[in-house]
Chains A and B, each alone.
Chain A
Amino acid sequence: MSLLHLAILSPFLLALLVPIVYKYVRQIHTGWFVLFLPVLLFSYFFQFISETMGGHSVTKSISWIPSLGIDFTVKIDGLGLLFALLITGIGSLVVLYSIFYLAKDKEQLNTFYVYLLLFMGAMLGVVLSDNLIVLYTFWELTSFSSFLLIGYWYHKERSRYGAQKSMLITVLGGLSMLGGFVLLYLMTGTFRISEIINNAGDIFTSPLFIPAMLCILLGAFTKSAQFPFHIWLPDAMEAPTPVSAYLHSATMVKAGIYLVARLSPVFAPHSGLWLWLVAGVGLVTLLWGSFSAVKQTDLKGILAFSTVSQLGLIMSLLGVGAAALYYDHLDENIFIVATTAAVFHLINHATFKGSLFMVVGIVDHETGTRDIRKLGGLMHMMPITFTIAAIGTFSMAGLPPFNGFLSKEMFFTGMVRVLEMDIFNMQTWGFLFPMLAWIASIFTFIYSMILFFKTFTGKYKPAQLEKKPHEAPIGMLIPPVILASLVIIFGFFADSLLSDTLIAPAMASILPSLLNDSSKFFVEISYWHGFNIELMMTIGVIAVGTIAYLTFPKWKNIYKLFPEKRSINRLYDGSLELIQRSSNNFTNSYMNGFIRTYLVYIFIFFIGMLSITLSVKNALKITIDNAAPIGVYEAILAVIIAICAIAILFAKSRLTSIILLGSIGYTVALYFVLFRAPDLALTQLVIETVSVALFLLCFYHLPKINRKEERMGFRFTNALISVGVGVVITLIALSAHSNKLFDSISQYYIENTYEKAAGKNMVNVILVDFRGFDTMFEILVLGIAALGIFGMIKLRLTRRKDG
């Protein structure tokens, strides 16, 4: 157990303490006790930057289940560290924000911080695990804790709906991802990610390669809310705003991005499908998310779809960047820039989206609504919030001088260079990539402007607001202010601050094969590239976006066409309902409550299985070589039994049936006599008498109304099944007798009954001596039966209650 393991597990340990603190220290907001941990962890992880900058990585391992190759291996490299810093850094800010957002006396703070700490620990585990199974364990923990956090206000119906939806979708993806991991294990024989990356060259010919890739991608896409699995994210906005800011913008939804980035070296170098899928899905998500965001009226709805679209952007960049691995023979690898952009935008998005969510939370907190139709003119009342929102939205829209501009430019560069790929008809279809990216950026611009101007400018509508708006408390403002200042700092000093410390090491993890032992990626981020196509695209975005925003009320109606057609949500709801209804119908159709029907199933299965086995195994064989001759008395007894059995079927009254059954029993006793089994004959006679008496008892107590003396009805299926059972059993018995392979072991008993057990009656010696155990438990069975009958007769609780 190293310090690194302790760092990952510390949130879980603190989560254990939170309820105790909450219970005994009620005067102080519980969040203050939680706050120190992410800060501590952030500074701890910050130290590793010097390590990863040099291209090294830190690996620590403790064994968990060594026999299965599952060890809790922690590896800090550039990518993991970047995510760990995001998680702990934004985690600290979110905890601080939540202290002021959640009231001490109204909310269940203990559960909130337990869930949040669970999530933080799980997320750290996801990004720092080097073992696939451990990664999966933490991955599911993030799903569960996210479920708990979304459903935090569990008395609200929408919260429960959102929590369930996100749970179903992310767990679906998580399970498929587990499948992918297992396939990877089958191909490489190890769960260690770093070893799998080293072996990646050997596995791309395996037939399991493509299924493993698809399974893992499904997991990544569902977690990162890619099209069409993005539908859970807007509904997850029912969570408290700190949760939305933390989970659904900065960390959890980037777990899928992390996974894609982490496993790119495994899949991308040998398969064009990977980059095609990742980039294509990312681009569709980008376009669809930005398009849908424009029509939202809820601030968090806009931000949710904006997150979806930005995640799509990062995903598409990772896809295009993976082309660098595919075309690694080129000297001047032009696709690397896409990966740089992806990592850079990942950081940028976390900063501005986190601050925007907090801004929205403040607006909600101070006005009582998040509906942009009710908001407006808040600029003068909330100047600080206004400033933060301006920085965040302009950065999101991709305007200079904020960091969003830089990553947007690099995004365009990456997309334009797709044109130079020469696989899958990239030259003809490739132009779609920059095209779609450009259109999506216009929509991004429009919704950013809507978010900003509709909230803070325009007419102030006091009548529609629940509270009198005023500036938020200072503690609530500190975290967004920090994030917004980061937006600006990264905007001006990105190159010097980020490129060597975080971006280059992260790229080294995503594109390891492009590096020699000592070389490093050279990341250059600058505002001015000269008059190139990217700049033109940005100017175009701003120009077209401004016009579109100003004329928005005129073309708003095109959205009225889409909601009816846009039915992924409806598809989800409908399919859930369909699954429930059809499984219900299916169960009702065969579970009809009649034992008769179930017996029919059982016997049909029985006949089917046995006859198929008989024919497939070619086991049907009837010889009479070792059959004994049939005596005349056996024949007569058989005729008697047959007559009685058939007569039972046609008996008019139940009494007749009982008597006939008795006579069959006695005839069987006679058979025992014939086949020299005196003990059996004795027992059979007594038992038969007793059971006939019991049948008569039952018969006598039948209720008067239903005591119709009528014949059993004839049903063709029943007749068919009963004949089938008889035939199959007869055939099996005959075949078994004809296929006798070994002699009986009874010779031993014959020789030793008197010698070793001191008895002359062999049956009884076997029962009590050679195989006395069976007898003991049969005695037990009789005892249980007797006690059961006694209990059933005496213990009539319901009747006693009535009386």
Chain B
Amino acid sequence: MFEFILKISLIGISISILGLIYRVIKGPSVPDRVVALDAIGINLISMVAIVSILLNTHAFFEVILLIGILSFIGTVAFSKYLQKGVILERERDL
């Protein structure tokens, strides 16, 4: 029963990822796509978590952390890019 619920939630997450991908593809503006990607990252975290439970292992916890970090960094970088046109600003005196 527990496993069944996990699978149901996996499928739910997958469907939401598909929806988000639709937004990534379609998304009229770039910020739409960035937000969708960020949300895909969060969904991936939950997906990995559920899969870990299903596979009965704790080897993937690092993956969860990593996705969290990466998705944050990625979103911040994208935002900065959209805002200023560059990601790493040059120092003045160079």
Contacts and interface: CB of A to CB of B under 8 A. Distances in A.
Interface in A608-632: 632
Interface stretch (A68-76, A580-588, A676-684): A676-684
A698 to B, nearest CB: 13
Interface in B1-19: 7, 10-11, 14, 17-18
B48 A670 contact: yes
Given A670-B44, A678-B59, A663 B21 contact: yes
Contacts of A666: 40-41, 44
Nearest to A635: B14
A643 interface: yes
B94 interface: no
A633 B18 contact: no
A663 B24 contact: yes
B66 A685 contact: yes
Given A659-B24, A660-B25, A666-B40, A632 B33 contact: no
B11 A636 contact: yes
B60 A673 contact: yes
B contact residues, range: 20 to 34
A539 B70 CA distance: 109
A contact residues, range: 20 to 34
Contacts of A656: 24-25, 33
Contacts, number: 83
A696 interface: yes
B40 to A, nearest CB: 7
Interface of B: 7, 10-11, 14, 17-18, 21, 24-25, 30, 33, 37, 40-41, 44, 47-48, 51-52, 55, 57, 59-60, 62-63, 66-67, 70, 73-74, 77, 81, 85, 87
A58 to B, nearest CB: 86
A656 to B, nearest CB: 7
Nearest to A674: B51
A686 B66 contact: yes
B63 A685 contact: yes
Which of B25, B74, B77, B87 has most chain A Cβ within 10 Å? B25
Interface in A657-674: 659-660, 662-663, 666, 669-670, 673-674
Nearest to B62: A682
A685 B11 contact: no
Contacts of B74: 689, 692-693
A280 to B, nearest CB: 81
A352 B25 CA distance: 94
A655 interface: yes
A208 interface: no
B70 A655 contact: no
Given A640-B18, A647-B25, A659 B37 contact: yes
A674 B21 CA distance: 20
A389 interface: no
Contacts of B59: 676, 678
Q: What 9 A-B pairs have minimum CB-CB distances, sorted nearest first?
A: A678-B59, A636-B14, A689-B70, A681-B63, A673-B48, A647-B25, A678-B60, A685-B66, A633-B10
